[in-house]
Amino acid sequence: MIVKYDTLQQTLKTLLIQHSFADAEAELCATIFSRSTVDGYHSHGVNRFAEFLKTITDGYVQMNVEPECLMNMGSFERWDGKLGPGPLNAHFSMSRAIELAKEQGMGCVAMQNSSHWMRGGSYGWQAAEAGCIGICFTNTEPNMPSWGAKEANTGNNPMIVAVPSDSGHIVLDMSLSQFSYGKMWQLDMEGKELPFSGGFNEAGELTTVPKDILATRRLLPTGYWKGSGLSIMVDLLVTLLSSGRSTSKIGEMEAEYGLSQVFICFDASQLNVGSKHESLVQEIISYVQAATPAQEGGIVEYPGSQTIKRRTKHMAEGVRINDKVWDNLQQMLQQA
Amino acid sequence: MIVKYDTLQQTLKTLLIQHSFADAEAELCATIFSRSTVDGYHSHGVNRFAEFLKTITDGYVQMNVEPECLMNMGSFERWDGKLGPGPLNAHFSMSRAIELAKEQGMGCVAMQNSSHWMRGGSYGWQAAEAGCIGICFTNTEPNMPSWGAKEANTGNNPMIVAVPSDSGHIVLDMSLSQFSYGKMWQLDMEGKELPFSGGFNEAGELTTVPKDILATRRLLPTGYWKGSGLSIMVDLLVTLLSSGRSTSKIGEMEAEYGLSQVFICFDASQLNVGSKHESLVQEIISYVQAATPAQEGGIVEYPGSQTIKRRTKHMAEGVRINDKVWDNLQQMLQQA
């Protein structure tokens, strides 16, 4: 099914209003889910929307709460997300970090008691669209064994770094496992293997067979010991800065909520005045792209370049959505 | 040759004084190199000391300069390192970030025109020893192809994250290539292979043979496209925050100097008062270590845990230094 952006956004907004979202919150939340989808991140967009609504009806995500400021020290603020909807809490936190950056050059907001923010890249694009360099990261439930461990004892803790540019913002959005569960489920359904080792099989050997990794749940950290170390440090950073739940404590909850997140912004126009910012960005990106492609006729990409291509295409032509996913949303609309 | 820490530190200090360092700067610089060595990072400690001195006699690294503050916006400051010695500039920058954090909760110092800081972990330990959560990163000369590129168009841009703890600070110090050139040279000399693919051979295939990677200079980024993206973002961050040289511009210099670096600190005791900081840290570390080891009888390590073991052993027993490296330093002492 090919769906136009406006149809998608209106459908999701209507469903959110049916789930007691106020109009402005429903508009913003539907926009975040829809933009993730046209950007090509269905797994954290439309495909996850029904599950997101269930976290509300299950009572894990709280409606009608407002984030509360717990600490303010110049450029740094700590907020309590009161277990509100993750995308709204994350958007609020990045907005506050942007405000602090506009006032003081830089800003850092740590939020405890948030919920799953869905696609972290959303808040990187948000910072860049506001003319800010943005960095954010979150912890997760325990879903990855650290290097040298057999069971999940850390999270795949996504990290986002965004830089604004007139020729298209540069946004890195990565988790710290080499592949996501979503990617492995998808390839397993299609009967395909991973392009590189993505975890360990029952015998404790690295493997490219998704089914074998899904059986052990021994995901490989990005770059072996390196992504493993970084995931532990991200959990420390978000927990200490927000004074919130660590991955360990999130693992004790009935579902993945109550997460800890950090949002950092720098105002690009104060750091480099006039055309200086753009010329430095172009110096770096044009150098990256000037290298000979590894594949003949290939293009050397950079973080965000492929997202912009997908977005442009899908905004013009509509975006393909799995029939079952779309039918399910239509049924929910009618049942309400 | 087994050398005691004090002997090593005194030897390096004497050589620095012979190279026109003032007493206090020689003391600090010798301590940084010696601590890196007892921590087990010879490649960025004693083994690199003669090369470090050569960057001074060659005129790339400037003596008798003082960093200059170019911009101050609350928690953020930009400094010009005036091409001074990298370890002194980095130590200065982290000290200033610590001061800002003690005053305002957090501090961020960006430095342009610095030199190679040697082992980045030094400044992570420095932050942790001052009771601060520290983050720092640097760019480098172009030494790694981005994912999908054939030639070096980005750097392996080291990243450091440090968290203070009463039971031993937690410090991650990693570059964004899967293996360093130093590691590959060492294994090649020993006739060994890398434990995992570390780059591409002439045929464009991933390989574990160090010689083949040294021939193409096509190093593999940590975690393929992920470390590649992160390295481009680190170059953007340090260049834009310091308004300094990007990896592209460093590649145009006659040697690897004039680097851009960023140092961020948070005062741990202001973020979590009383015993709260330590209890959150222990919650995370004990959870990581409680997982079943992948190897029977193994220990689940965390960032910095192995460094502390090496340091303790080498401070007590002395540290092994390559005979040629040590003899060379002794000859330099006598020639002066």
Q: Which residue of B has its CA nearest to A202?
A: B294
Q: Are residues B125 and B261 in the same domain?
A: yes
Our answer to whether residue A314 is catalytic in this structure is: no
Does the residue B301 lie in any domain? no
- Judged by a CB distance cut-off of 8 A, whether residue B105 touches chain A is yes
In a domain, B69, yes or no: yes
pLDDT recorded at residue B335: 84
Whole-structure pTM value? 0.98
Same domain? A216 vs A247: no
pLDDT of residue B179: 96
Q: Do B41 and B76 sit in the same domain of this protein? A: no
Catalytic residue among A42, A44, A91, A169: A44
Q: What ipTM describes this predicted complex?
A: 0.98
Residues A5 and A91 reside in one and the same domain: no
Average pLDDT value for chain B: 97
Distances (CA, A) of A113 to A134, B72, B80, B281: 21, 33, 40, 18
CATH label of the domain that carries residue A150: 3.30.1370.60
B228 in the same domain as B216: no
Residue B163: which domain range? 65-175+223-290
Selected residue of A69, A71, A72, A73 to mutate for chain B interface (largest B Cβ count, 10 A): A73
B196 touches chain A (CB under 8 A): yes
What's the structural domain count of chain B? 3
In a shared domain, residues B160 and B49: no
The CA–CA distances, whole Å, from A276 to A163, A170, B237 equal 14, 17, 14
8 Å CB contact between A76 and B74: no
Q: State the average pLDDT over residues B224-236.
A: 98
How close, in Å, is residue A174 to chain B by CA atoms?
A: 7
Chain B residues close to A224, C-beta within 8 Å = 178, 196
B293 vs A150: CB contact, 8 Å cut-off? yes
pLDDT at B336 over 80: no
Instruction: Answer whether residue B252 is part of any domain.
Output: yes
Is the distance from CB of B222 to CB of A226 less than 8 angstroms?
Answer: yes
Whether B94 shows a pLDDT value over 90: the answer reads yes
Position B64 scores a pLDDT of 86
Task: Please count the residue pairs, one from chain A and one from chain B, whose beta carbons lie less than 8 angstroms apart.
Answer: 256
Query: How confident is residue B74, by pLDDT bands cut at 50, 70 and 90?
Result: confident
Residue A267 belongs to a domain: yes
Same-domain pairing of A189 and A274: no
Question: Is A243 close to B276, i.e. CB distance below 8 A?
Answer: yes
Residues A34 and A83 in one domain: no
Average pLDDT over residues B161-177: 98
Rounded to an integer, the average pLDDT of B221-230 is: 98
The residue out of A220, A244, A277 marking a domain boundary is A220
Within a domain: residue A134? Answer: yes
In this structure, what token pair is assigned to residue A306? 């492929």
Pairing of strands A132-138, A259-267: antiparallel
pLDDT range class, residue B182, cuts 50, 70, 90: confident
Domain shared by B24 and B70, yes or no: no
Q: With a cut of 90, say whether residue B278 has pLDDT above it.
A: yes
CA atoms within 13 A on the CB side of A133: 21
The pLDDT tens digits for B106-143 are 999 999 999 999 999 999 999 999 999 999 999 999 99
Q: Which residues of chain A carry a pLDDT beneath 50?
A: none
Compare CB distances from A150 to B233, B241, B294 and report the shortest one's residue.
B294
Q: Is residue B150 part of a domain?
A: yes
Shared-domain flag, residues B237 and B119: yes
Tens digit of each residue's pLDDT (9 = 90 or more) over B305-331: 999 999 999 999 999 999 999 999 999
Could you tell me if residue B22 is inside a domain? yes
Do B101 and B215 lie in one domain? The reply is: no
Q: Are residues A187 and A168 in the same domain?
A: no
Structure tokens at A252: 């004790």
B269 contact A CB<8A = no
Contacts of A300 in chain B (CB under 8 A): 146, 148-149, 153
Give the pLDDT confidence score for residue B147 in this predicted structure.
97
Note the pLDDT of residue A239.
98
Is B284's Cβ below 8 Å from some Cβ in A? Answer: yes
Say yes or no for a CB contact (<8 Å) between A204 and B294: yes
Alpha helices in chain B, H assignment, sequence order: 5-18, 23-38, 49-57, 86-104, 121-129, 181-189, 210-216, 225-242, 247-250, 268-271, 276-289, 305-317, 323-335
Identify the pLDDT of residue B20: 93
Q: Which residue has the tokens 């696609």?
A: A119
Q: What is the CATH number of the domain that holds B203?
A: 3.30.60.50
Closest Cα in chain A to B134 = A237
Residue A297 lies in a domain: no
Chain A residues close to B102, C-beta within 8 Å: none
